[in-house]
């Protein structure tokens, strides 16, 4: 069965997130997944911010993409990490090998400050790339069915990408009173009927339940600010009717906004007394 690099499921990618976090602490380098054409493979919020910026459709660096494409061609044949330089920064393309075939790559990105870049040697980058090669291929070898989908299942990956883009849009626009299922589905170029189905299939909750979750979590943070009254918090998270906001908040948090705030302040005072 022919396979391409595609990551299954938002929750399933946690193992990759844990690796990325540990790898960053150990080497000071980030990584993101790309296919053999140098296009980013969507792995939920765990993708490197720097790598995503370089590969973003809005901010695409064509010279960098050309180097990355050549690097992918190189690793497809050599099946080992390839180091390349762009704007005085060192990068590495690390192959993901399954059944003697390279199915994708990991783009390893360095720290981006001039001071950090000057301190990193090519030997350090090579060592980090070889370490990542061992770790990432160990994970994929042991979690192949868990992480990789066949070419015939690529629709799943496209659906997942649409859901991830929708999540990103919701998190940036939850405060907008006009946000809706129709609006978000339009943003990801899907019918709202189909989008509603794949969203619930991925998250096991409906679109409106997720939007409410995001809004309530944001409201809970805002309620820590004594300068904001409940009405202002309601408006800030997208509700035009403060009374309705209070009802939703109580249903979701099992307490009213006022009681939630009072409890926060009470716990804060108690903590001060205990630590005094």
The Cα-based distances of 203 to 11, 85, 143 in angstroms read 9, 40, 21
Separation between Cα atoms, residue 170 and residue 185, nearest integer Å: 11
pLDDT in tens, the chain (276 residues): 455 555 554 445 667 778 888 888 888 888 888 888 887 775 544 455 666 677 765 566 788 888 998 999 999 889 999 999 888 888 999 998 877 888 888 898 876 555 665 677 889 899 999 999 999 888 877 765 555 555 445 555 667 778 888 999 999 999 999 999 999 999 988 888 888 988 888 888 899 999 999 999 999 999 998 889 999 999 999 999 999 999 999 999 999 999 999 888 777 644 443 443
Last residue of a domain, one of 121, 147, 173: 147
Q: Within this chain, do residues 143 and 171 fall inside the same structural domain, yes or no?
A: no
Separation between Cα atoms, residue 47 and residue 30, nearest integer Å: 8
* pLDDT reported for residue 180: 93
* pLDDT reported for residue 273: 36
DSSP state of 40: B
What are the DSSP E strand ranges found in 5-88?
Answer: 30-34, 82-86
Q: Which two tokens stand for residue 94?
A: 């690390």
The Cα-based distances of 162 to 157, 274, 275 in angstroms read 9, 49, 48
Q: Within this chain, do residues 21 and 135 fall inside the same structural domain, yes or no?
A: yes
Q: What is the CATH number for 165?
A: 1.10.10.60
Q: Within this chain, do residues 225 and 166 fall inside the same structural domain, yes or no?
A: yes
Q: Look at residue 276 and tell me if it is in a domain.
A: no
Residue 65 domain boundaries: 3-147
Helix, strand, coil in percent for the chain, rounding step 5? 60, 10, 25
Q: Look at residue 256 and tell me if it is in a domain.
A: yes
* pLDDT reported for residue 100: 82
Q: What is the CATH number for 89?
A: 3.30.450.40
* pLDDT reported for residue 149: 52
Q: Within this chain, do residues 131 and 8 fall inside the same structural domain, yes or no?
A: yes
Q: Within this chain, do residues 53 and 18 fall inside the same structural domain, yes or no?
A: yes
Q: Within this chain, do residues 162 and 119 fall inside the same structural domain, yes or no?
A: no
Q: Within this chain, do residues 186 and 210 fall inside the same structural domain, yes or no?
A: yes
Classify residue 181 as exposed, middle or buried by CB count within 10 Å of its CB (0-12, 13-18, 19+): middle
Last residue of a domain, one of 147, 163, 181: 147
Q: Within this chain, do residues 20 and 114 fall inside the same structural domain, yes or no?
A: yes
Q: Within this chain, do residues 141 and 173 fall inside the same structural domain, yes or no?
A: no
Last residue of a domain, one of 124, 147, 170: 147
Q: Within this chain, do residues 13 and 125 fall inside the same structural domain, yes or no?
A: yes
DSSP state of 35: -
The Cα-based distances of 242 to 209, 238, 245, 262 in angstroms read 19, 10, 5, 18
Q: Within this chain, do residues 138 and 179 fall inside the same structural domain, yes or no?
A: no
Q: Look at residue 76 and tell me if it is in a domain.
A: yes
Q: Within this chain, do residues 7 and 139 fall inside the same structural domain, yes or no?
A: yes
Q: Count up the domains in the chain and report the number.
A: 2
């Amino acid at each position: 069965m022919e396979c391409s690099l595609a990551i299954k499921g938002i929750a399933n990618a946690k193992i990759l997130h844990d690796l990325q976090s540990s790898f960053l602490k150990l080497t000071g380098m980030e990584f993101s997944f790309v296919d053999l054409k140098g296009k980013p493979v969507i792995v939920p919020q765990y993708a490197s911010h720097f790598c995503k910026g370089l590969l973003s459709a809005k901010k695409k660096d064509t010279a960098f993409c050309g180097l990355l494409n050549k690097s992918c061609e190189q690793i497809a044949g050599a099946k080992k990490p390839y180091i390349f330089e762009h704007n005085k920064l060192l990068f590495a393309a690390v192959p993901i090998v399954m059944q003697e075939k390279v199915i994708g790559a990991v783009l390893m990105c360095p720290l981006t400050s001039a001071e950090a870049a000057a301190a990193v040697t090519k030997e350090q980058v090579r060592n980090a790339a070889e370490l990542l090669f061992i770790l990432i291929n160990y994970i994929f070898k042991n979690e192949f069915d868990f992480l990789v989908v066949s070419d015939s299942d690529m629709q799943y990956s496209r659906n997942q990408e649409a859901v991830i883009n929708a999540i990103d849009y919701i998190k940036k626009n939850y405060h907008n009173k006009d946000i809706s299922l129709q609006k978000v589905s339009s943003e990801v170029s899907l019918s709202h009927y189909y989008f509603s189905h794949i969203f619930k299939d991925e998250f096991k909750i409906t679109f409106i339940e997720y939007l409410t979750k995001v809004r309530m979590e944001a409201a809970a943070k805002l309620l820590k600010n004594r300068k904001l009254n409940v009405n202002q918090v309601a408006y800030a998270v997208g509700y035009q009717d403060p009374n309705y906001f209070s009802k939703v908040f109580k249903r979701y948090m099992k307490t009213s906004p006022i009681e939630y705030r009072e409890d926060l302040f009470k716990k804060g005072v108690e903590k001060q007394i205990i630590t005094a």
